[in-house]
Amino acid sequence: MDEKDNGSISRRGLVGGATLGLAAMAAGPTGAQTPGTPTGGAKAVAKSDPTMKHPKPPFRSQTQPWPGLAGQMDPRPDHGETSYKGSGRLAGRKALITGGDSGMGRAAAIAYAREGADVAISYYPTEEPDAQEVIELIRREGRNAVALPGDIRDKALCERIVAEAVRQLGGLDILVNNASRQQQRPSLLDISSEDFDATIKTNIYAMFWLTKAALPHLEPGSSIIQTTSEQAYDPSENLVDYAMTKAAMMNFTKSLAKQLGPKGIRVNGVAPGPIWTPLQVSGGATQEKLQQFGGDTPMGRPGQPVELASIYVQLAAEDASYATGQVYGAAGGGGQP
C-alpha cells in the first residue's frame, strides 16, 4: 500500500470515528458524569467554612520563655500532624528547613515528608521536645529525618548545619530559611543593642550564611524559600526591628531570584499574616494582642501553620517551575502581598 492509500484510510478512519462519537453523544451514554461528580474514581473533598475551621479569639493569657514550645500552647497549633495528606509531589527531594520544630517550618517539614522528601530540620536547643515530635512524624512516613540543633546566630554553626544536612541526606534540593526571632517593644528606646543584634543575626545573617553555604550543593531545579511576613509590607509600631528584617528578606528573595534564575535555581518567599505560633507567646506580642490575636482579620481568627503548608510544597514542586522572585501571602484577607 502506498503513501496515498495510507492517507486515504486515515481520513476515512477519522470521519468514521467522528460520526460514531457524535452518535454516542446523541444517545447519552449510561456512564455519563453527573455535574459536579469527581472523575477517575476520586472522592469528593468536603468543603468547610474557613472562618470556623480553627480556633478564634479570645485566647487565654499565656507566656513562655523565648523561643517557646508549640507543645505548651493553648490551643495547640495545627501543623498538619493528622490532616495533611501527601501525593508524592516531592518524591526523592532533600530539604533543609530552619526553625523546623514549630510554626510554618514544622508544617513544611511534615508536608515535605508526606510528599516524599527527606528532611533535615534545624532548631534552637531548648526546642528539642518539639523537634523530636517532628523527627518522629517524618520517620513515620518512611523518610530520612535529620535533627540539627544549635544557635544559627553563629556563622560556623550555619555552615556545619548545611554540611551535615548534605552529608546525612545525601544532597540538597530545597532550602527553607524559616527560623526567626520576634520580640515586641513599645518604643525604639526599649530595643537594646543586644536585642537588635540578636534579631538581625537570627533573621538576616543566618539566612545569608545558610544560603551561601548551600549554593554550591544546589543543582538546576532546586528551590530556596524564605519565610518573610506581612510585616515587610505593613509593619506594626512595636515590631520595628523584626519588620526591618522581614523587608530585607523580601528584597533578598527578589534580588537572589534574578541572580540564580539563569542557573535554574528558583527563589521565592512566603509572607504570613497572623499565624498561631510560639513567636506570639514568647515575647512576640503583648498579652492584650495575644488574647485577641487574628480577631481583626476578615476571617476573624489567626491562621494555623498547616494552612500555609501547601504554599511551601507548591514553591518547591516541579510544576511551579516558572515561579521565582515571588512572595506568596496568606493573611486571612487582611494583609499583604
Cα distances (angstroms) measured from residue 25 to each of 22, 36, 37, 224, 318: 5, 19, 19, 49, 37
112, 124, 242, 312: the catalytic one is 242
86 near 115, Cβ under 8 Å?
A: yes
CA 326 to chain CA centroid, Å, is 13
Q: Any bridge partners for residue 272, and if so which?
A: 330
Closest Cα partner for 105 from 54, 70, 64, 53? 70
- The crossing angle, in degrees rounded to 10, of helices 240-260 and 193-200 is 30
Tell me whether residue 233 is one of the annotated catalytic residues: no
Active site residues: 242
